[in-house]
Chain A
Amino acid sequence: MKKLINSPDSVIADALRGMAAAHPSLAVDLENRVVSRAGGVMAGKVGLVSGGGSGHEPLHGGYVGYGMLDAAAPGEVYTSPVPDQILAATKAADHGSGVLHIVKNYTGDVLNFRMAAELAEDEDIRVVSVVTNDDAAVEDSTYTAGRRGVGGTVFVEKLAGAAAEEGADLDTVAALATRVNEATRSFAIALHAGTVPAAGKPGFDLAENEVELGVGIHGEPGRERGTMQPVHDLVGYALDVIHADRPIAGDQLVMLNGQGGTPLIELYGAFAEAVAWIEGHGGTVARSLVGNYITSLDQQGFSITVMSLDDELLRLWDAPVSTPALRWGR
C-alpha cells in the first residue's frame, strides 16, 4: 500500500510540524505532542482537553481554537496518548478554573486519561472527565466494554466549547457535555478498511460485494458483515438502527461524516438520502455538517451522527467558532 510519508515512524511528528506551519493560531509542542491555542491564559475560562489515537484527523487537533478545545493530545496512530502527554495538554489548557477532559469510550483512552487526571489533581488542577459513548452499533452491557465514543465527540467538543467560551463554570460545562452525549447517536458503515502506516495493509478484508456494518473509528471490524447496496439503503440501515435506539423526532443536528477515503460527491449523495429519511419520519434537519470530521485514515465509508436540538443547544451550535476544521460566526 502506497503512503505519502517519509517513514511510518515519522508520520505523527511530520504531521504536527505541518499543522504548526499551517495554523499560526495553534501552539504545537513537538516534544510533548500537544496542540494548544497560541493565545495563552484566558483568566476564568474553563479549559477543554481531548485526545486519542492519531488517524482521525481533523479530530482532535483540528478542533483546537476559539469556541472549541484549548488543547489536544494526539497519540500514536490508533493508540491513545500517554498520561504524561495528557498532563502536558491539561496544563496547557488550564486557565485556573478547572479542566474538562473529553474522552472517547475506548479502554485505552479511558485508562490513560484516568491516570492523567490523577496526575493533574496532584498538581492542584481540578479535572472533570466526560466519556462519550454515542455509537448505536454496540450494546451497552456487561458483555462489552460499553458503547464506543465516535462522531458525537465532535458535537460535545463544539457545544461544551461554546459554553466554556461564554464563561460557564466547570460543573456546568461538564453537565452540558454529558447532556449532549446522551442526546446523540451515531452509526458507521465501511466499504473498505483503512491502512495503518506501520502495518502497511488494510486492517480487514472486505469482498467487492461486502460492507462492514457498525464499524468503529479504529478500523476495528463492526458487528456484522452485510451486502453492498445502493447508498439509499445503506443510509436507511444506519438511520433505522439509530432510530430504534433513540427515536429521531423534531429538529436535528446531523453530521454526514466521511471516514477519510470517500469522495465528497458520495457524501453529499448520502446526505440527501439522510435528509429524505429524516423528513419522511417527521423530523427536520435544522443544522448539518457534511465532510471529513472524524476519520479512520483512508478508510472508505461514512458515519451518521444525529442529535435532537433544543433552543440552548441550537444557540451553542451557532455560537462563533474558529478552529482549523470548524469556522463560522467570527
Chain B
Amino acid sequence: MAFDVQTATAWITASEAVVKANEARLTGLDAAIGDGDHGANMARGLAAALANIAEKEPATPGDVLVAAGRGIVAKTGGASGPLYGTAFRRAGKALGDATEATAEQVGDALEAALTAIKELGGAAEGDKTMVDGLAPAVAAFRQAVADGGDLASASVAAADAAEAGLAATVPLQARKGRASYLGARSVGHEDPGAASLALILRALAEVTA
C-alpha cells in the first residue's frame, strides 16, 4: 500500500486514540522525572491535530501531516508542542506534492522529523529524550526499505526499534529537558517523550498493516 491522504489521516486518528488510552501512563512517567503533564498535553495536542485536519481537508498526505503539526503547535504548549508539531510539519513538507508517497519517501519524511527535533531541542542520542526512540526507528525503517521491505514491514521495524529505544532510556541519565534537573535520580525511569513516540510509531505500523 502507499501512504496517501487516507493512510496519513488514519495514522493521526490512531495516534490520538492510543495516546488518549495511555494518557494516565504517560502522565505517570512524566510525574516520576518531570512535571506530570505529558499525557494531558499530548492528548490535547493530537485532538487539535485531528480538528485541524478536519477543518483544512488536505489533498495530499504531506498536507495532512502539516495540518497535524500546526494543530499540535497551536494547542499543546510545553516542550512537546513545538517538538512534535515541528516534527509533523517538517515530515509533511518532506513529502512534497505526492498524492501517494512511497515507502522511501516516508523514510525521508521520518528523517526530516528527526532532524527537526534535534535542531529545535538540541538533543542527541543518549540524552534520554524522544530522540532515543526516533533515531533508531528512522534507521530501522530505512534499513527495511533498503532490504526490499514495503511500507507495512518498514513501519513494523520502526515501531519495534522505537520500543527498544524506549526500553534503552531506562538506565540513561537525562541531559535535556526538565528531567535533567534530577541528575542521577533520572536513572531507572522510561523517558515520557520516547514513550509517546513509540505509541505513535506503533500506530503507523497498525494503519499500514
The digit string for A72-98, where 1 denotes a CB below 8 A from any CB of B, is 000111111111100000000000000
For the complex, is B97 an interface residue (Cβ under 8 Å from A)? no
Contact of A108 among B36, B77, B173, B182 (CB under 8 A): B77
Q: CB distance B180 to A82 under 8 Å?
A: no
Known: A107-B178, A145-B177, A221-B185. A79 touches B41 (CB 8 A): yes
For the complex, is B188 an interface residue (Cβ under 8 Å from A)? no
Q: CB distance B78 to A145 under 8 Å?
A: no
Residues of chain A within 8 A (CB-CB) of B29 are none
Q: CB distance A107 to B41 under 8 Å?
A: no
For the complex, is A198 an interface residue (Cβ under 8 Å from B)? yes
Q: Complex formed: what's the CA distance from A75 to B34 in Å?
A: 17
The digit string for B169-193, where 1 denotes a CB below 8 A from any CB of A, is 0000101111011110100000000
Q: How large is the interface on B (under 10, 10 to 19, 20 to 34, 35 or more residues)?
A: 20 to 34
Known: A76-B37, A81-B77. A223 touches B180 (CB 8 A): no
Residues of chain B within 8 A (CB-CB) of A198 are 37, 40
Interface residues of A: mostly helix, strand, loop or mixed?
Answer: loop
A212 to chain B, nearest CB (A): 11
Q: Which residue of B lies closest to A145 (CB)?
A: B180
Q: Complex formed: what's the CA distance from A221 to B175 in Å?
A: 16
For the complex, is A10 an interface residue (Cβ under 8 Å from B)? no
Known: A111-B82, A198-B40. A220 touches B35 (CB 8 A): yes
Q: CB distance A108 to B176 under 8 Å?
A: no
Known: A111-B120, A112-B77, A115-B82. A196 touches B36 (CB 8 A): yes
Q: CB distance A196 to B37 under 8 Å?
A: yes
The digit string for A202-213, where 1 denotes a CB below 8 A from any CB of B, is 011000000000
Q: Complex formed: what's the CA distance from A111 to B77 in Å?
A: 9
- The residues in B between 1 and 54 inclusive whose CB is less than 8 angstroms from any CB of A are 27, 31, 34-37, 40-41
For the complex, is B76 an interface residue (Cβ under 8 Å from A)? yes
Q: Complex formed: what's the CA distance from A145 to B41 in Å?
A: 20
Name the segment of A136-144, A164-172, A229-237 touching the other chain. Answer: A136-144
Q: CB distance B76 to A82 under 8 Å?
A: yes
Residues of chain B within 8 A (CB-CB) of A222 are 181
Residues of chain B within 8 A (CB-CB) of A143 are 173, 175, 180, 183
Residues of chain B within 8 A (CB-CB) of A75 are 77-78
Residues of chain B within 8 A (CB-CB) of A111 are 79, 81-83, 120-121
Residues of chain B within 8 A (CB-CB) of A142 are 175
Interface residues of B: mostly helix, strand, loop or mixed?
Answer: helix
Contact of A221 among B80, B176, B182 (CB under 8 A): B182
Residues of chain B within 8 A (CB-CB) of A291 are none
Q: CB distance B181 to A107 under 8 Å?
A: no
Q: Complex formed: what's the CA distance from A312 to B198 in Å?
A: 53
For the complex, is A22 an interface residue (Cβ under 8 Å from B)? no
Q: Which residue of A lies closest to B185 (CB)?
A: A221
For the complex, is B65 an interface residue (Cβ under 8 Å from A)? no
For the complex, is A148 an interface residue (Cβ under 8 Å from B)? yes
Q: Complex formed: what's the CA distance from A99 to B208 in Å?
A: 47
Q: CB distance A107 to B176 under 8 Å?
A: yes
For the complex, is B75 an interface residue (Cβ under 8 Å from A)? yes
For the complex, is B167 an interface residue (Cβ under 8 Å from A)? no
15 A-B contact pairs sorted by A residue (CB < 8 Å): A76-B40, A79-B77, A80-B78, A82-B73, A82-B75, A108-B79, A108-B80, A108-B81, A111-B120, A111-B121, A112-B77, A112-B81, A114-B82, A138-B181, A142-B175
Closest 5 interchain pairs by CB? A111-B82, A108-B78, A108-B79, A144-B180, A107-B79
Which residues of A line the B interface, CB within 8 A? 53, 75-84, 106-108, 111-112, 114-115, 137-138, 142-145, 148, 196, 198-199, 203-204, 216, 218-223
Besides the contacts A143-B183, A148-B181, what 20 more A-B pairs have beta carbons closer than 8 Å?
A53-B77, A76-B37, A76-B77, A79-B78, A82-B73, A82-B74, A83-B74, A108-B80, A112-B77, A112-B78, A112-B82, A144-B183, A145-B177, A145-B178, A199-B31, A199-B36, A203-B36, A220-B182, A221-B182, A223-B181
Which residues of B line the A interface, CB within 8 A? 27, 31, 34-37, 40-41, 73-83, 120-121, 173, 175-178, 180-183, 185
